A and B are shown apart, each in its own frame.
Chain A
Amino acid sequence: MQQFQNAKSGEIVLSLADRIIENRAYLSEIDGKIGDGDHGVNMAKGFGMAAERIKGTDMSLAEALDTLGTVLMTEIGGSMGPLYGVMFTQFAETIEKSDAIDATAFSTMLHNGLDGIQAIGSAKVGDKTLLDTLVPAITAFDTAIGSGKSFGEALQALVAAAEAGRDSTRDLVAKIGRASRLGERSLGVLDAGATSCALILTSLAEGVEPRLQSA
């Protein structure tokens, strides 16, 4: 069975922050097509602030996720502040007492993050939001583990499903948030939240994979 160490894995969150910051302009550009165009700016601001606090600290993954979630929730606002803020703090709470994280713990962490989002937002799959990325990605991870795949293989399934979920938003009409006011005009454009969520999940998987060891 594969697992990775919680301690000193805070660097995973640093590369996640780098990924968001690199995509600042891209995320704002797609947001600008059906939203107000500040998704990349706000995400980069929050993830950048969190990265500054994590750098050089030797944090565990749980500590780094908690730092990121708290910054998003207390300093960013908008819609993404509370949504990602609650997701990352829930991730952190789930794993804070675990020294080693196996596929079961990782799955529980993802589910608790999703539950947190669903407790404050009212979106469903198909509404053209980040849930269109997150929900199928979690399902793909669980399905892979359930069919006997390794943690590493399940992470690959998670990434593939996240990307497919993100792409599915191109053909959806927004049902919630500012883009929902556009009706049919939101067709043909990726949802910015679904896109940033795919970046987050991919980066998380890429950070975990090389750290996996047999227990």
Chain B
Amino acid sequence: MQRFINNPDEVVEDTVKGFVKAHADIVRLSAQNPRVIAARHTPVNGKVGVITGGGSGHEPAFIGYTGRNMLDAVAVGELFSSPTAKSFLDAAREANGGKGVVCLYGNYAGDNMNVKMAIKLAAKEGIEITTVVANDDVCSAGPEEREKRRGVAGEIFMWKCGAAKAAEGASLEEVRATAQKAIDNCRSIGVGLGPCTLPSVGHPNFTIEPGTMEVGIGHHGEPGVRVEPLRSARDVAEEMAKIVLDDHQLAAGSEVAVIVSGLGATPLNELYILHDTIESEIAGRGLTIYRVYIGNYFTSLEMVGATLTVMALDDELKRLLDVDVQCPAML
């Protein structure tokens, strides 16, 4: 492994240390828990707290979305492994401004259990936590089992809209409902061209043969729906757009927001190559793109590949997307 690491077992600690130094004007480390990052201004009295948490290795997610008009606090897990219940609880404590806390997270077994325990612990000290579970990854379950789908880059839109709603002074239930609407309006797809390696394990735990691609791959290398010969970027982008838009079934004239994210080892130019075709496919269905985010927004260590996320917009979601944020991932 050719990597900039010190000790393979301390990658997360070292990442957090550098992150907090780099972005000290926006974030701080929780004084109670070295696995919780909070926005500098948090908690804000009378504002609903918005938190998330998840395994590390997806940088800038999750920590990079901490900041003003964005997430109030984030629980940090080991690489690809859920944060502890205590870290979710401490994130809620950091974010709690007295009006309750919304935890917006992905649909993974460990996160589900740790959040559930954190909710019980928080209730004992009078902090109400409500949740929205992201389920935007189209290929992880069929449309009839949408609740089983895992959350991927659509989580970014869920955080953005939920946090902006909270910043407007909305109630706990209003923030929850808006975040729920945002994720309900999202569909995502990932395509993997090469695997990634956990430093403490030392070798890739799945393979993608050269010359092939895995369509529908998850953010930890969860298998996709099929392995195919690698085709041109145009063909791949057409297929990604087709899978997302077929599932979405949006009426012509709808406005959408788009994220094209690299998975860690794909250069930005290739994301623009993909977007050239993605834009044509979306326009070809009579849809209008309101806003596009292209870059490494939600990665998977050094996986080669990209994800596409499309969120259908209404007036409220457009307004919330437009709210200025100050967070390391979206400067």
A, B assembled together? yes
Interface-lining segment among B106-114, B123-131, B167-175, B251-259? B106-114
A81-B114, A82-B117, A83-B113 as given contacts; A38 in contact with B78, CB under 8 Å: yes
User: Can you name the residue of chain B whose Cβ is closest to the Cβ of A80?
Assistant: B110
A-B pairs, top 4 by smallest CB distance, nearest first, are: A77-B84, A79-B110, A78-B81, A181-B222
User: Can you name the residue of chain A whose Cβ is closest to the Cβ of B8?
Assistant: A41
Q: Give B41-92 interface residues, CB cut-off 8 Å to A.
A: 77-87
Chain A's nearest CB lies how many Å from the CB of B87?
7
Interface-lining segment among A68-76, A149-157, A201-209? A68-76
Interface-lining segment among B93-101, B198-206, B279-287, B323-331? B198-206
Find out whether the CB atom of A77 lies under 8 angstroms from the CB atom of B83. yes
Could you say which residues of chain B place their CB within 8 Å of the CB of A76?
Answer: 84
Find out whether the CB atom of A120 lies under 8 angstroms from the CB atom of B198. no
Find out whether the CB atom of A78 lies under 8 angstroms from the CB atom of B140. no
Alpha-carbon separation in the docked complex, A82 to B223 (Å): 25
Number of interchain pairs (Cβ within 8 Å):
87
Could you say which residues of chain A place their CB within 8 Å of the CB of B28?
Answer: none
23 A-B pairs in the complex with CB atoms less than 8 angstroms apart: A28-B201, A36-B205, A37-B198, A38-B201, A42-B81, A45-B9, A73-B117, A74-B85, A75-B86, A77-B78, A78-B78, A78-B110, A79-B109, A79-B110, A81-B110, A81-B114, A82-B113, A120-B117, A176-B109, A178-B108, A178-B222, A181-B140, A185-B223
Other-chain contact of B114, A35, A37, A42, A77 (Cβ < 8 Å): A77
Find out whether the CB atom of B117 lies under 8 angstroms from the CB atom of A78. no
A120-B116, A120-B117 as given contacts; A177 in contact with B109, CB under 8 Å: yes
Could you say which residues of chain B place their CB within 8 Å of the CB of A28?
Answer: 201
Alpha-carbon separation in the docked complex, A177 to B198 (Å): 18
Chain B's nearest CB lies how many Å from the CB of A26?
14
Could you say which residues of chain A place their CB within 8 Å of the CB of B201?
Answer: 28, 32, 36-38, 41
Find out whether the CB atom of B86 lies under 8 angstroms from the CB atom of A74. yes
Alpha-carbon separation in the docked complex, A83 to B114 (Å): 9
A32-B205, A36-B220 as given contacts; A77 in contact with B198, CB under 8 Å: no
Chain B's nearest CB lies how many Å from the CB of A73?
6
B-side interface residues toward A, CB under 8 Å?
Answer: 9, 77-87, 108-110, 113-114, 116-117, 140, 198, 200-201, 205, 218, 220-223
User: Can you name the residue of chain A whose Cβ is closest to the Cβ of B80?
Assistant: A36
Chain B's nearest CB lies how many Å from the CB of A43?
12
Q: Give A116-136 interface residues, CB cut-off 8 Å to B.
A: 120-121
Alpha-carbon separation in the docked complex, A120 to B114 (Å): 8
Could you say which residues of chain B place their CB within 8 Å of the CB of A37?
Answer: 198, 201, 205
Could you say which residues of chain A place their CB within 8 Å of the CB of B140?
Answer: 181
Could you say which residues of chain A place their CB within 8 Å of the CB of B77?
Answer: 77-78
Could you say which residues of chain A place their CB within 8 Å of the CB of B84?
Answer: 73-77, 81-82
Could you say which residues of chain B place their CB within 8 Å of the CB of A120?
Answer: 113, 116-117
User: Can you name the residue of chain A whose Cβ is closest to the Cβ of B141?
Assistant: A181
Alpha-carbon separation in the docked complex, A33 to B86 (Å): 30
Find out whether the CB atom of B114 lies under 8 angstroms from the CB atom of A38. no
A86 at the interface (CB under 8 A from B): yes
User: Can you name the residue of chain A whose Cβ is closest to the Cβ of B35?
Assistant: A77
A182 at the interface (CB under 8 A from B): yes
Other-chain contact of A79, B82, B200, B205, B222 (Cβ < 8 Å): B82
Task: Write the A84-95 contact mask toward B (1 if CB under 8 angstroms, else 0).
Answer: 011000000000
Find out whether the CB atom of A77 lies under 8 angstroms from the CB atom of B117. no
Could you say which residues of chain B place their CB within 8 Å of the CB of A45?
Answer: 9
Find out whether the CB atom of A42 lies under 8 angstroms from the CB atom of B78. yes
User: Can you name the residue of chain A whose Cβ is closest to the Cβ of B139?
Assistant: A181
